[in-house]
């Protein structure tokens, strides 16, 4: 059996998830690119990885649907022999003052971000092989408290809590569990609806005076998912250029 590490990456068709899938593949992992609606984008990620000599397949799964997620992990085990790395990059964001937020939208955000993370983490906890890693995605807004991000920050606060609990529950398994909390990052999701002045203001907040890139976040995730990063466990890494 190959000793190649196998990664399952949800939300792997675009943005930060795409960068994570590509970076893990470049580091030698076989990658299952999870997606929900973007089949063509997921296929493009797979084609890019395989064209460079890597190994990847795509798998459609709503992360909040435990049956679909189990099938995605089944695909990883059937195709590549097991699962070592689990990254939940699928997420949903809705910006609104708390006083004005439609509660149906709150439920939708929490379904994807809380339930979805829980389902992915649960499956990862059941299947990850010794030496493996589970990485969740939070947000630095949990600490920054930007107005308008109440529902999103609340959901990601829950992600951080379950991540730290799971790290302790997996005592003796030799599987790490960490969260990465990006700051403002130049993805389509982040840039949507913001004018140039707002983007420039956010870019000036870190001491490094720029927005993060998907590659910045992917490098942090790849380190935590690697044998070299295995001593980091039960942590929230705020990858935000130094915003406090």
Which positions are annotated as active-site residues?
Answer: 152
The answer for residues whose C-beta is within 8 angstroms of residue 74's C-beta and 6 or more apart is: none
Distance between CA atoms of 175 and 6, rounded to whole angstroms?
14
At residue 146, what are phi and psi to the nearest 5 degrees?
Answer: -60, 135
Q: Tell me the two tokens of residue 34.
A: 């999870």
For the chain, how big is the Rg over CA atoms in Å? 17
- Where does the chain show beta strands of DSSP type E? 6-10, 30-35, 56-60, 85-88, 133-137, 176-180, 236-237
For residue 136, how far is the Cα from the chain centroid? Answer: 5
Q: Are 83 and 132 in contact (CB under 8 A)?
A: yes
Burial 195-219 (b: 16+ CB within 10 A, else e): eeeeeeebbebbeeeebbebebbbb
Q: Are 214 and 18 in contact (CB under 8 A)?
A: yes
């Amino acid at each position: 059996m190959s000793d190649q590490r196998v990664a399952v990456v949800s939300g792997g068709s675009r943005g930060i998830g795409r960068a994570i899938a590509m970076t893990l593949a470049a580091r030698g992992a076989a990658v299952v690119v999870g997606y929900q609606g973007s089949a063509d984008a997921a296929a493009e990620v797979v084609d890019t990885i395989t064209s460079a000599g890597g190994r990847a397949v795509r798998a459609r799964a709503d992360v909040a649907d435990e049956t679909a997620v189990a099938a995605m992990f089944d695909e990883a085990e059937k195709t590549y022999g097991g699962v070592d790395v689990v990254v939940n990059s699928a997420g949903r964001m809705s910006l609104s003052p708390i006083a004005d937020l439609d509660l149906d939208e709150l439920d939708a955000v929490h379904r994807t971000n809380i339930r979805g993370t829980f389902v992915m983490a649960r499956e990862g906890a059941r299947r990850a092989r010794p030496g493996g890693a589970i990485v969740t995605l939070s947000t630095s807004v949990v600490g920054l408290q930007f107005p308008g991000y109440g529902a999103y920050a609340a959901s990601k606060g829950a992600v951080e809590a379950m991540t730290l609990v799971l790290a302790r529950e997996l005592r003796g398994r030799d599987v790490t569990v960490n969260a990465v909390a990006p700051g403002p990052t130049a993805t389509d999701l982040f840039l949507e609806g913001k004018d140039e002045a707002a983007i420039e203001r956010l870019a000036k907040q870190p001491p490094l005076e720029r927005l993060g890139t998907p590659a910045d976040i992917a490098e942090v995730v790849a380190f935590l998912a690697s044998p070299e990063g295995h001593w980091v466990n039960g942590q929230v890494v705020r990858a935000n250029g130094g915003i406090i």
